[in-house]
């Protein structure tokens, strides 16, 4: 019999992930702070809980995919939180992107109740969440990873056990450093193409298949050319992750000058009220600096 799954967090990522869990045949209960976001899943056959504790009591495995460290702490450890309903022997999988140190503290608190935890943040944007093709980096005990594998395979194509509790979150921060670096490189390259007067569609086609090719370029480059700022991942969420990156880098004494610069460029866009744009809108900061604008065809 399949594990009963509880899913908390039905936003831009969680909604697609939860739907894939349901389509795979797992019995599913959901909870979201904004109840209306549960409606499509309820219509597809999911049960809806009133609190995280109620959801945990009805689940063998609880998946969490929400915004920030404080939110995850509240959902797991707060009043009517997961820890109040989870039974010994159950498993909590946090697929949010949060502090590695806080992750280890929550894993310890759950372990005292006989509940295992994995940190399993994801990469691949809203497209990957909808298609079930995410990359999932997992921290925690190997036995828990093995137990979670059939569930994780409904949401991701590449699942990598990267180490103990907190390691998944650390690797996700590494991922985000590389994501924003690729994003800045893409933005600078396209700006140079615009300034040079070449056909942008041809330029993108030419470089995508070579050494400059990347997921960011293939998926977000065409959006930039179309001036389509719909988010696969918002600037607000990207900045939240970069704060975690820079905090961890400061704690560890790791110099990340490029990441710090990109954080400040995004900050200029936040100041202009663009927090809800996709993270590829980073190019708008360069456009503002240069007076050069990518022209939509």
Residue 63 exposed, middle or buried by CB count within 10 Å (0-12, 13-18, 19+): buried
User: DSSP assignment of 210-260, as one string?
Assistant: STT--HHHHHHHHHHHTT----SSBHHHHHHHHHHHHHHHHHHT---HHHH
- Strand pairing report for 134-139 and 122-123: antiparallel
Provide the Cα torsion 203, 285, 97, 76; round to 10°. Answer: -140
Active site residue 172: yes
Please answer whether residues 136 and 98 qualify as being in contact, where contact means their C-beta atoms are separated by less than 8 angstroms. Answer: no
Q: Residue 81 and residue 55: Cα distance in Å, rounded?
A: 9
Q: Which of 37, 172, 202, 284 is catalytic?
A: 172
Beta bridge partners of 106: none
Residue 292 DSSP label: -
Which two three-digit tokens encode residue 124? 């691949």
| HSE (side-chain half, CA atoms, 13 Å) at 152 | 25
Supply the residues annotated as catalytic. 172
């Amino acid at each position: 019999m399949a594990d009963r799954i509880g899913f908390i967090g039905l936003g831009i990522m969680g909604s697609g992930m939860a739907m894939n869990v349901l389509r795979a045949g797992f019995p599913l209960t959901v909870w979201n702070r904004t109840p209306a976001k549960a409606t499509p899943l309820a219509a597809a056959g999911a049960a809806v809980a009133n609190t995280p504790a109620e959801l945990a009591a009805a689940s063998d495995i609880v998946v969490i995919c929400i915004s920030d460290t404080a939110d995850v702490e509240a959902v797991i450890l707060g009043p009517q939180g997961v820890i109040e309903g989870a039974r010994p022997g159950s498993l909590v999988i946090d697929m949010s992107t949060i502090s590695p140190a806080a992750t280890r503290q929550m894993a310890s608190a759950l372990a005292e109740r006989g509940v295992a935890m994995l940190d399993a943040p994801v990469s691949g944007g809203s497209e990957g969440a909808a298609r079930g093709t995410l990359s999932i980096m997992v921290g925690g005990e190997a036995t828990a990873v093995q137990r979670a594998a059939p569930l994780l395979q409904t949401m991701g194509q590449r699942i990598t056990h990267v180490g103990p509790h907190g390691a998944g979150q650390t690797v996700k921060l590494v991922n985000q450093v590389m994501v924003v670096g690729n994003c800045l490189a893409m933005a600078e390259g396209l700006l140079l193409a615009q300034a040079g007067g070449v056909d942008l569609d041809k330029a993108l086609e030419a470089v995508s298949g070579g050494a400059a090719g990347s997921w960011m370029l293939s998926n977000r480059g065409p959006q930039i050319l179309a001036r389509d700022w719909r988010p696969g991942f918002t600037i607000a969420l990207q900045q939240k992750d970069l704060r975690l990156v820079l905090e961890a880098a400061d704690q560890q004494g790791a110099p990340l000058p490029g990441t710090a610069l990109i954080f400040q460029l995004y900050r200029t866009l936040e100041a202009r009220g663009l927090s809800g744009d996709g993270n590829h809108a980073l190019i708008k900061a360069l456009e503002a600096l240069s007076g050069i604008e990518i022209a939509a065809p």
